[in-house]
Structure 1
Amino acid sequence: MKKFIALLSVFLLVMAGCSQGSSGSTEKESTAKSDPSKPLVVYLNDFDEMIGPLFEEKTGYKVELVSGNGAEIQSRIAAEKGNPNWDIVWMDGQAAFARWDKEGILLGDWKPENEKNLNELGQSLLSKSSSYFPTGAHASSVIVYNTNEISKEKAPATWDDLAKPEFKNAVGMADPAVAAPAYPFVSWFFQDKGLEEGKKFFGNLFENGAKVYPKNPNVVEALLNGDIKVAALQESNAYTMKKNGEPIEIVWPKEGAPASVRYAAISKSSQNTEAAKAFIEFLLEKKTQDEMITAGAEGYYSSSVSDVKGPSDRLENPNLLIAEPEWSAENEAVIKEWFADQSVK
């Protein structure tokens, strides 16, 4: 099943690329103002319980939220390419936004007024085309270990430690073809080390018995039921486990943690551009960011907006390692296909 899902993801990437040439000639940027009777359609993978009511209360615009994991949202957008049903996409994963930008399906050359609110991290994450806007970044994986199985003295401290013999058949991670944060995690290693060395790095993990699960909640379950003892786990899942009193500890590796950037973008075909632009402005307000930080499990991230403090129990100013969006997009199909091949060996 993992092989099928991963190859489906690769297929959609290829199909999206093949249709790129025609998108510019068939899709025209909308200049229409918003229809108050028509809700703003937002595709997202987090904050779906709180962001709608907050936005409606702040602006008066109605909003329809469509939530899903990273693979689901990307598949939906690819399937709707000829007739997009969305106005806003707001999700993890810098590669997807770079790819959509290149395909010409995002509204570009527009700068929100609240771009001035961005801090140094936010400024560094801005797209060159002004087509997608960073709302924050979080560790796509930190190291988490079960304290009933591993002592603090013997716990892994670096990513390379996960390939040590003492962790044979004991490590797990999420599938980069399914979980939105998982591809930014693996892509950083491939970019930093180069494609061949990246394959060697993860190949060593797989030779040591590392296991791949569809999504991060599946990794959490495996860590608790004893299927694995150590995990490369997205940070909000890790801190939620800690808050729930589970027998785990979180390790921020010495070299840093690969990060996933959460971006927001407007569909070039949107007929609701006034409301869509208001949504981007809303996301880049300090008050909105403060609300998201305090919202619960998904509030574990580094905000792109100035003067927004992270959760008190999170590492302050963590070293986030961010793969370049364009590089990640260009190499996405190759990397995901390679992972799919490893899962069936």
Structure 2
Amino acid sequence: MNVYPIQWKRVTTGIVLTSMLTVLAACGGNNGAENGNKSESGAAPSPTAAPTTETVATEEPAVEDAGKLVVYLNDFDAIIADMFKEATGYDVELVTGNGAEIMSRIEAEKGNPHWDIVWADMMPSIHGLGLQGQLLEGWEPENLSQVAEDFKAYIPENKTYFPTGAHASGIIVYNKNFYTEETAPKTWADFAKAEYKDQIATADPAIAAPAYPFVAALFDKAGGVEEGKAFFDSWFNNGLRVYPKNPQIVQALSGGEVKLAALQESNAYSMVNNNEPIGIIWPEEGAPASVRVAAIQKNTKNPNAAKAFIEFLLDAKTQQQLVDEGEEAYFDPAAQGVTARPDRAANAKLIAADAAWASQHEAEIKQWFADKAVK
């Protein structure tokens, strides 16, 4: 990815009124001259013209924020609150949870939203919020032009959400006590091979935020809903275990409960960095991507802070700090000019399902997966 540096700039919304009506005349309109209000040339100043109808119609009062910005966030990278406060002065309240928790909260608050921003690894679900009319449309961040071209493809036409990065929602990991790089699976189809029976695992797409993008990408790659069901049936028939979230898969791999898994990449690299006997394989066909996106609630009471937050997330310096210090440090940054983790595979290839398609079939696929899963 070609990358170039950018600078972040705080945005303040609202229009400053630039014309004022000065009343210079009373009754006869020459009061200024009678009182000796002369210009240096000795002539009385001309009365200021009243605003035209057109001017009045386009003038708007500045919008003020109502209070603290509330951000609904996946349960990691809580450092963003202090980062944003330091950079802008805006206070942030974080409400964190897994994908299911965040979406359940948003649904429960549909008639009275308590959130201003949702920033999460679930582009299809957030795309669905846009279709429901819950997201601000049509606003464009000032630094949007600095987003890498391949990430611009993820931005919907009505600009209801913006990508901040993407990571592998699943890469192939294996326990080195049981497999070598040569004997471990190389492709996603390999998970259906008899030699791996009862040894494979993945996260639940109805609970873990990155898990549905993982499943949706492989459904899409297979050719559609029915083809995707057939593909995952081959895994279920081979003894696939489904865990609620990726940290539970980490525990299962560490304890030998499973020996192979489709594991979210930050969790996988964390295991390696913690000296766990884990090997990582990036399939040549690509690893399903979880695109992390941010969106503004349509009726936010904090529009200035909300828009500043989106621009802050898109800034190269912000994303570099998340790579260097964040919990979700292994990802492809959306901003140009960011250096990814040096130990991240150079051949990392990500594939993603179309957001509209994945959103359209989300409920159906999740329900089918839940019916099939052996937990």
What do residues 133-171 of structure 1 show as CA deviations (whole Å, max 9, x unaligned)?
A: 000000000000000011222111100111111100000
Decide which structure has the larger Cα Rg and report it. Answer: 2
Q: How many residues align?
A: 314
Q: Is the 8 A contact 2:242 2:373 kept in 1?
A: yes
1:39 corresponding residue in structure 2: 68
Q: Which residue of 278, 281, 303 corresponds with 2:333?
A: 303
2:233 corresponding residue in structure 1: 203
2:283 corresponding residue in structure 1: 253
Q: Distance in 1 between the 2:256 and 2:62 partners?
A: 55
**Residue aligned with 1:287, SS:** helix
Matched, 1:220 2:250: yes
Residue identity opposite 1:42 in structure 2: V
Q: Distance in 2 between the 1:90 and 1:343 partners?
A: 28
Q: Distance in 2 between the 1:144 and 1:33 partners?
A: 50
Q: Which residue of 126, 130, 144 corresponds with 1:101?
A: 130
Residue identity opposite 1:182 in structure 2: A
Q: Distance in 2 between the 1:324 and 1:192 partners?
A: 10
Q: Distance in 1 between the 2:155 and 2:115 partners?
A: 22
2:108 corresponding residue in structure 1: 79
Matched, 1:282 2:318: no
1:119 corresponding residue in structure 2: 148
* Structure 1 segments (4+ residues) deviating >6 Å: none
Which consecutive unaligned segments of at least 5 residues does structure 1 have?
1-30
Residue identity opposite 1:253 in structure 2: P
Q: Distance in 2 between the 1:145 and 1:205 partners?
A: 16
**Given the two structures, how large is their TM-score scaled by the length of structure 1?**
0.89
Q: Which residue of 143, 154, 160 corresponds with 2:183?
A: 154
Q: Is the 8 A contact 2:77 2:328 kept in 1?
A: no
After superposition, residues 1-345 of structure 1 pair within 5 angstroms as 33-35=63-65, 38-193=67-222, 194-316=224-346, 318-343=348-373
Pick the structure with more helix per residue. Answer: 1
Q: Distance in 1 between the 2:75 and 2:97 partners?
A: 8
Q: Distance in 1 between the 2:176 and 2:239 partners?
A: 20
Which consecutive unaligned segments of at least 5 residues does structure 2 have?
1-60
RMSD of the TM alignment (CA)?
A: 1.4
Shift of 1:32: 7.5
User: Taking structure 1 as reference, are residues 160 and 211 closer, same or farther at Cα in structure 2, changes over 3 Å only?
Assistant: same
Q: Is the 8 A contact 2:282 2:347 kept in 1?
A: no
Q: Is the 8 A contact 2:329 2:341 kept in 1?
A: yes
**Given the two structures, how large is their TM-score scaled by the length of structure 2?**
0.82
Shift of 1:122: 1.8
Where relative contact order (Cα < 8 A, 6+ residues apart) is larger, the structure is 1
Shift of 1:196: 1.2
**Residue aligned with 2:143, SS:** helix
Q: Distance in 2 between the 1:74 and 1:116 partners?
A: 30
Q: Distance in 2 between the 1:199 and 1:280 partners?
A: 36
